[in-house]
Structure 1
């Protein structure tokens, strides 16, 4: 961590000397000396941090370096803030302001005094470096060679696309638990508790059981609620309600946000009594009181309902299992054989361990005591080592020998995870510790996290690489070391949501407190750290509504604060008070994330934060951006998503460092494709040359703005709304220049079905050329609310296309879209909505080799579908929605051997009747018998949405 701080402070000093050299005057030499000394320390720090746990003196020296570097940054940022102000297109625009400010001799003397003081501190610290360097025999010329990843490259390979480790020792307990769920009295609620210490894999086991096809067939209604140690009971009830309604494609009533806990329990009970057989998991239960509360919301009914519960505490497990048929399963550590299998799967990808490593590998594995978490963690550490270097493995073994002599297994796992942290390259340590800003069990948005890393200057620029790719590389490396768990993925396999294990989070919190990385508050009275608060995360608390802010105000010191992040805070009054205090006293703030806060106007104090690089007002009620936004000359990331902002002032053009601009409003939450308003930008938007993400620009003002888009050659993501017919040619001309584009979404002018024809067949040769398409990696082309009539030829050349959405393009009957797309090698997902006017679609043999997800909707003329053997071999989900002329299932559907889900919504009465009333010995039944889950959905005469679910031999009708 200290090495990273020193690195970006050193870079900051270099920038200051280069851009503000004349402003420094006589202080330039002093600043240069400080920069040079920090440079000498950087390499030494990379090795010293790996050894700091061995010697408290070294740890103290590292703390001194870190705090000195932070103080240098504070002084220099204050200096620039005081004397330079903000820029008006360069140095000359603020020359008069600088000259006037420079007359403040008292202020300049104060800055000079602070720099002299820091210089003296740095000199003393440097002497300590030389002393420790000799004592620990560290050669800073090769420092960090064992931990730095010099051969690093960005890719989406095995770490993201392959299971982290082959699950072992899980088949027998999984089948045991499935049997317990399926057997027993069908007229009584049965509870199955899984008991075991942290790190044994309780959640993993239960998740596999919960998702098993036999369980899914027998329990039409399923939900998963993560309880955790700090349980907010009403919030968990609302989460359960949300999941149940989502499972049945039903809207959640608004009133559940305002009713009492008792009323919430009554609502859940009434709802479950109506829907039929259910299986609900309550994961990570810590308190008996939770079960005593939740059991009154669970009706026994006469369907044989089931509840699964995971816990570390025996009293919780046995308290929930009081009936004769209830069952407690106690998890045990892995056997020696299974431990060895998991260990080799993680490190050697299933191959055998080399003979020369056998002894040291077994010695390391012995320390893990069969705990899967420990095995995977230490395996991730060893997987990064050279298998030909037995000395590197022996070094890990020796470290474990001294580190893991704790009294309990939980403590030993913590120490293993601490060792994994210590082994991280210096550039990854702050990225991992930064996860302490999130609450327990929080689903972390991967893109937001990597953008925050960039804003915090944790991510180093690399020659010839985009900073976004470098950040994803960091993320990928933490995944490969088993320190971040992927919870959800995009279609193309990249992580969408991620989490950290509870035990690892404890280690991260401990390290974060030690290094004053992040201060977390729920707004309740607390003892604040004596160190200066530099990053403040505001979390929700079920008790915070009763806290009066003035009780603790005296403990705050915000003048050194660099980041303020509100994470799902629930007390608007307290949050506003916090925010007011932060903005009043934090002039050096660089990161401000207020997503979801109850804010109706952008606070004026924000426009005094001249060092701000990251500003998120996502989900707030802000509807206007003041012209003062132009003052934020260092802003790189501006997120106004899901706000009321519809237009940006011309002053936005002053933000020449802006890389991400997200301004949109979702007006139809049920329609993720085109239910959005974009924003109207200034006519010279093309001047924002650093832009990489533009989401979403309203093009209704004409071809001028479409032409300006072509100047934004760094764009990777582009969403356009309100595109006019006559601007199709200009858009194609602009797209030719966007050789880095990865995602494109286009929505045209029009209402209902009266959409304008967009001709995207211009510049075919240029758009199809290798120079244009070679950069189109993971392009997601979404053509929505725009009639095409003919498929643009250049689409067939998009070799890296992963997802395509054609909505209302209304291709002519002779323009079969499948012909253009079937041989695209990476196509993963297709969404066709009103896109084709032909009578039939045939998926040819050999086509769509990677397709997993297919949604066909609102094609009124479609009468038949066929799937030839060898087509779509990996299709997992098929959705047929409102195809009134289709009277039979696709011929050849039996060839889709990997199909897991078939959804038939608002289809013809002939098709619905045929599928819903099949006999098991019929040919039609045998065609779909291999599909684990089938839904039939339709509206009843009274407007009620009805879903009928069929699983194999059993049918269950569910009224939603």
Structure 2
């Protein structure tokens, strides 16, 4: 940890050494800065070893803490100095000197800064003397401290993949049988075991089992944490159940009390066969809060409960008739060894010369899967020929776990995996402590925050975000982060960390004064808070002694309006990150005007409507996140923020059925080309005066990775194409026309970005752009309102890496034919509102990897696709607002004609848009004449849409 602080500080010191303003006005300062840089560089080589050894050596621990404190104090002085230097900048060098001289009040500021640095240097001399005394410890440990070889294999972190698990087949088979068979009433199945035993992993494998999915009409996974409130738990359950039934959550849910929420849950489940998983139930209070909301109907409904508390399992199952408990046991030695080798050696055999050491390490893991995976993540980075490194891991583990206290032991194992991290990952990993328990950490949010905090080291040929992506992969390879959700094209969307890992990093974060977490009013906090994360509630005043050193402020789940000037009357002038996402703000916080160092500002999901002109003072701002706020226009002063890297100003529109996935952008001035560092720009409105010039200005944004444009006019297509050709780093492009019938002209794009992965075109196309079929990196394509005369499948079927394809009103023909050998990697296909379509043919060998198929609003399509039986990997088939004639052909009764064609598909649904939301009916419900969702006087799609509008 101290190494992290020192490395960041050395970079700042280096920037100041040759600063001309310092030489002229602060002659005594430069010498102090030079001395500090030399001292920090001299001891940096030993800090990595000290960080790893300090847990077992009190003397080292004290020294490391002193180095961290003095590094932070030095950083504070330098940042205060930069405020003085850059305050009210004028144009030109002498203008800057004039402003600076006025601001620092001549010699007073010079004396104060020089005096503070002298004090720092005096403390540094004392620390250096201690360093000489401790030098022998560093020399003894140095031999095993230099290896950081990496295997960049993302699959190492995907522990939840069934193919990467061991010892799970037998318990999974038992649990699946308990859920599917058993009595007709509601039954509770409890999974009990200590933390790290794999309760959640096993429950998730059962929950995702194909047979279980098909058996239960409604499924919901509810995470129950120790600190969650009962009302929040019930609201989450209501939202999950509405989602499971494909219906919109009523706004009234937010204002319901606990009894109303319970009644809503009961009504949703009363007539259904449901499966509810309550994951991580810590005490009986949570069970008592929900059990009466889960109806004991006669449809073979089931509740799965995971808990660390054996008493909770015994009580919940003891009072339920025919309910069962499954106690998880440690992995047997053979399965432990299999998992160990799979994670450590990537599935290969253990080298003979390491086997004895590895078996000794494995013995100390005592069959706990999380411990095995964690220590394997450490060992996987070691050279197989450096036996001393492996022996050192074995010896340090043995010294820590002699007490046989499994929970403490597991923390020691995971602490070892933390200590083994290279210095540049330690701050990044500790940063996860700011997020609340069970919070899904968004991938890009985390990367932008790391960049804003200065944790990412620049590497030649890579952007900071690309380096941060490497950091993410390294943490996943060590199994310190788990993938929570992915996009349809395989990109990681969110992460999570194990509860025990989170406990460890919160403890280390607190010990190192890295971050403070506010959850209770009476909690004690350190004197010097650098990062503050407020969870759930916010009371006035906060129990913080001082926030003058604060670098980052986060608000999670804060329902009260955060009045920053009242909560923090002393201010926080050194703030780098301000994240007020989801807070009930209505106005742009005026306190932001003084935050010169601010790099990251998020007002996402707030009610802020206007960005004030004084935002121009945030000269260092890199990320401005106004997504899902009510901002529709930015002031012209925004153009002065030329360090912006990510500008997100848009919201999804749900005004009507047709515009369910539409996006609303923002108006911006035509001189947008000044944002030379911009990587993400979403979504700009292109129907304004001077829009053609703005389209040409976009060509100056050569660093763009994602671009979103709405309301594009046909006449601006040529200028836009010229600009896109210059965006060689572009990964995602989204373009929408102003009206449904307006033409998007993209034919002039002769050299499309070769790295383009995602393309969304929403508007009429006279012909399919010729360049789309040449996009070898394209994995996701969405075409809406195209209305092409020619069948686009001939051109699209050979895109080599296409995974997700959405086609809406794309073709006016009567037939679509998917040819044999086409769409080789396609997994998800959506066909929507083909007005003249009468038949779909799937040839044998076409779409061999297809897993999900949805067909909607094709009023003349009366039969399922011919050849659908060839799609052997198809898991989900869904019909949206399709004619009753088609649905009748797949009813599971004696009269059906085509039911056999889809018998191999685990999930088949018929979905209808009613009263502002989707109503979903599984295939089996179509066999019940009385409960059949299709009325005798069936309303066709057009009438239904007209009624909705």
TM range (shorter): over 0.9
Q: What TM-score do you get using the length of structure 2 for normalisation?
A: 0.94
- How much has 1:410 moved relative to structure 2? 1.4
Cα 1:690–1:958, aligned 2, differ >3 Å: closer, same or farther?
Answer: farther
Cα 1:913–1:951, aligned 2, differ >3 Å: closer, same or farther?
Answer: closer
Q: What are the Cα deviations for residues 386-434 of structure 1, in whole angstroms up to 9, with x where unaligned?
A: 2232222111111111112234211111111011111111111111111
Quick check: 1:43–1:144 contact (8 Å CA) kept in 2? no
Cα 1:307–1:160, aligned 2, differ >3 Å: closer, same or farther?
Answer: closer
Asked if 1:788 corresponds to 2:765, the answer is yes
Higher mean C-alpha displacement, 194-203 vs 100-109:
100-109
Distance in 2 between the 1:214 and 1:954 partners?
A: 20
Partner of 1:557: 546
1:878-957 map, 5 Å: 878-919=853-894, 924-938=898-912, 946-950=919-923
Asked if 1:127 corresponds to 2:129, the answer is yes
- How much has 1:136 moved relative to structure 2? 3.0
Quick check: 1:946–1:959 contact (8 Å CA) kept in 2? no
Quick check: 1:43–1:143 contact (8 Å CA) kept in 2? no
Partner of 2:797: 822
Cα 1:608–1:90, aligned 2, differ >3 Å: closer, same or farther?
Answer: farther
Q: What are the Cα deviations for residues 197-238 of structure 1, in whole angstroms up to 9, with x where unaligned?
A: 111111111111111121112210111111111131111111
Higher mean C-alpha displacement, 319-328 vs 278-287:
319-328
Partner of 2:305: 309
Higher mean C-alpha displacement, 638-647 vs 92-101:
92-101
Distance in 2 between the 1:426 and 1:848 partners?
A: 45
Partner of 2:637: 651
Cα 1:238–1:139, aligned 2, differ >3 Å: closer, same or farther?
Answer: closer
Quick check: 2:673–2:700 contact (8 Å CA) kept in 1? yes
Structure 2: give runs of 5+ residues left out of the alignment. Answer: 935-949
- How much has 1:112 moved relative to structure 2? 1.2
Q: 2:501 aligns with which of 490, 499, 504?
A: 504
Cα 1:221–1:90, aligned 2, differ >3 Å: closer, same or farther?
Answer: farther
Partner of 2:774: 797
SS at match of 1:69: helix
- How much has 1:157 moved relative to structure 2? 7.1
Distance in 2 between the 1:668 and 1:583 partners?
A: 40
Partner of 1:324: 321
- How much has 1:859 moved relative to structure 2? 1.1
- How much has 1:77 moved relative to structure 2? 1.1
Distance in 2 between the 1:590 and 1:939 partners?
A: 46
Distance in 2 between the 1:943 and 1:313 partners?
A: 43
Quick check: 1:642–1:664 contact (8 Å CA) kept in 2? yes
Cα 1:931–1:372, aligned 2, differ >3 Å: closer, same or farther?
Answer: same
Partner of 2:944: none
Higher mean C-alpha displacement, 22-31 vs 114-123:
22-31
Quick check: 1:561–1:589 contact (8 Å CA) kept in 2? yes
Q: 1:866 aligns with which of 841, 852, 870?
A: 841
1:129-168 map, 5 Å: 129-137=131-139, 144-147=145-148, 149=149, 163=161, 166-168=164-166
Cα 1:501–1:480, aligned 2, differ >3 Å: closer, same or farther?
Answer: same
Quick check: 2:87–2:103 contact (8 Å CA) kept in 1? no
Asked if 1:593 corresponds to 2:579, the answer is yes
Distance in 2 between the 1:203 and 1:877 partners?
A: 26
- How much has 1:134 moved relative to structure 2? 3.3
Distance in 2 between the 1:944 and 1:645 partners?
A: 27
Distance in 2 between the 1:13 and 1:890 partners?
A: 68
Cα 1:173–1:348, aligned 2, differ >3 Å: closer, same or farther?
Answer: same
- How much has 1:600 moved relative to structure 2? 1.2
Cα 1:830–1:917, aligned 2, differ >3 Å: closer, same or farther?
Answer: same
How many residues end up aligned between the 2 structures? 927
Cα 1:430–1:854, aligned 2, differ >3 Å: closer, same or farther?
Answer: same
Q: What are the Cα deviations for residues 343-393 of structure 1, in whole angstroms up to 9, with x where unaligned?
A: 111122322222222111111110111111111111111111122322221
Q: What are the Cα deviations for residues 245-264 of structure 1, in whole angstroms up to 9, with x where unaligned?
A: 11111111111211211121
Asked if 1:675 corresponds to 2:648, the answer is no
Quick check: 2:779–2:801 contact (8 Å CA) kept in 1? yes
Partner of 1:623: 609
Quick check: 1:460–1:470 contact (8 Å CA) kept in 2? yes
- How much has 1:588 moved relative to structure 2? 0.7
Asked if 1:360 corresponds to 2:357, the answer is yes
Quick check: 2:515–2:532 contact (8 Å CA) kept in 1? yes
Distance in 2 between the 1:278 and 1:395 partners?
A: 51
Higher mean C-alpha displacement, 659-668 vs 412-421:
659-668
> What is the alpha-carbon root mean square deviation over aligned residues?
2.4
Higher mean C-alpha displacement, 586-595 vs 601-610:
601-610
1:444-843 map, 5 Å: 444-522=441-519, 524-530=521-527, 532-541=528-537, 549-550=540-541, 553=543, 555-570=544-559, 572-573=560-561, 575-576=562-563, 580-582=566-568, 584-668=570-654, 675-701=662-688, 702-750=691-739, 753=740, 755-764=741-750, 766-767=751-752, 772-773=753-754, 776-777=755-756, 779-784=757-762, 786-812=763-789, 814=790, 816-843=791-818
Quick check: 1:584–1:605 contact (8 Å CA) kept in 2? no
Distance in 1 between the 2:321 and 2:236 partners?
A: 30
Structure 1: give runs of 5+ residues left out of the alignment. Answer: none
Quick check: 2:157–2:482 contact (8 Å CA) kept in 1? no
- How much has 1:901 moved relative to structure 2? 0.4
- How much has 1:891 moved relative to structure 2? 1.4
Quick check: 2:603–2:626 contact (8 Å CA) kept in 1? yes
Distance in 2 between the 1:897 and 1:38 partners?
A: 63
Higher mean C-alpha displacement, 795-804 vs 8-17:
8-17
- How much has 1:820 moved relative to structure 2? 1.8
